[in-house]
Amino acid sequence: MAIEVVASSIMTSDVTPHVARCVGGDLWVVSWLPGRTLNSKQAVTAMTIAASVATSGLPVEGDWTALDGLALELGLTGREAAFMVARENHDYRRTRIPRGRAPE
């Protein structure tokens, strides 16, 4: 599991489709936390949670403690974070194809 920072403006992972994007300064938005702005440390934590849930699925009882510790930095419980990661599981890395005009 690796989290990569691309050109200081986007964080990706090789195990999850979730991404974090820098929106200026030390402010980041993470795909599974829509509507929230995080600092860079919190964005790394959010990406770590997403990667962890992606590689292990729903955590077993012993894993919740570690996930709770990470999620606490984001003001969440581990269960809330795991649910949100699963719920917002879209592939944000895909390149969007611009819509053209309909053929006449």
Q: Read out DSSP for the chain? A: --EEEETTTEEEESS-S--EEEEETTEEEETTSTT--B-HHHHHHHHHHHHHHHHHSSPPHHHHHHHHHHHHTTT--HHHHHHHHHHT---TTSPPPPP-PPP-
pLDDT digits (tens, 9 = 90+) for 55-101: 776 667 777 888 999 999 999 999 999 999 988 866 555 544 455 55
What is the value of pTM for the model shown? 0.78
